[in-house]
């Protein structure tokens, strides 16, 4: 039974990372609301995984207009990244606040959210404190959209 669970776990990790895309923390890319990168599961049932990192005092913006989705951010073990959520509809942007902080290495997110046509959900990723950043090995965060 343990071998079966191990095989299923390895398969799950492989399937997540085999469909991943990278978004690197270049200054000027996805650093503002207007330059946000679109995250959409394609096909929606498969989900999408993105890896990125935060440079000093940087922030990354992403959005989705998928009809139905779940979203999660996994911080690296040594850093604490935060997610601030915004809802966009009819030309208006509403700040919904921060997701519950899960701490360094934690995962924060929400599940089974539905958007109507023309609506978008924006996510601003930033360091919890000015020392929560880094571009080296083990400093990437992971975004999951399913």
Calculate mean pLDDT across residues 55-84: 88
Q: What would the DSSP string read from start to end of 71-90?
A: EEEE--TT--EEEEEEEEET
pLDDT, one tens digit per residue, over 39-53 is 876 655 566 777 787
Q: Buried (b) or exposed (e) across 1-31, using 16+ Cβ within 10 A? A: eeeeeeeeeeeeeeeeeeeeeebebeeeebb
Coil, strand, or helix at residue 12?
A: helix
DSSP strand E in 1-80: where? 20-22, 37-38, 48-52, 59-64, 68-74
pLDDT of residue 41: 65
- Residue 106 pLDDT class (50, 70, 90 cuts): very high
pLDDT of residue 4: 45
pLDDT of residue 57: 78
Q: Would you say the pTM of this structure is higher than 0.85?
A: no
Q: What homologous superfamily is domain 22-145 in, according to CATH?
A: Mitogen Ypm (2.60.120.510)
């Amino acid at each position: 039974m343990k071998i079966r669970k191990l095989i299923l776990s390895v398969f799950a990790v492989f399937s997540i990372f085999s469909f991943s895309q990278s978004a690197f923390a270049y200054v000027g890319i996805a650093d503002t609301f207007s330059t946000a990168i679109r995250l959409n599961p394609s096909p929606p049932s498969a989900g999408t995984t993105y890896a990125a990192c935060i440079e000093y005092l940087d922030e990354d913006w992403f959005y989705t207009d998928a009809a139905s989705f779940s979203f999660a951010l996994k911080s690296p073990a040594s850093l604490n990244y935060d997610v601030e959520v915004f809802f966009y509809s009819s030309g208006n942007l509403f700040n919904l606040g921060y997701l519950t902080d899960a701490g360094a290495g934690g995962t924060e997110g929400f599940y089974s959210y539905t958007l109507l046509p023309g609506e978008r959900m924006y996510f601003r990723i930033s360091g919890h404190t000015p020392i929560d950043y880094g571009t080296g090995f083990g400093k990437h965060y992971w975004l999951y959209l399913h």
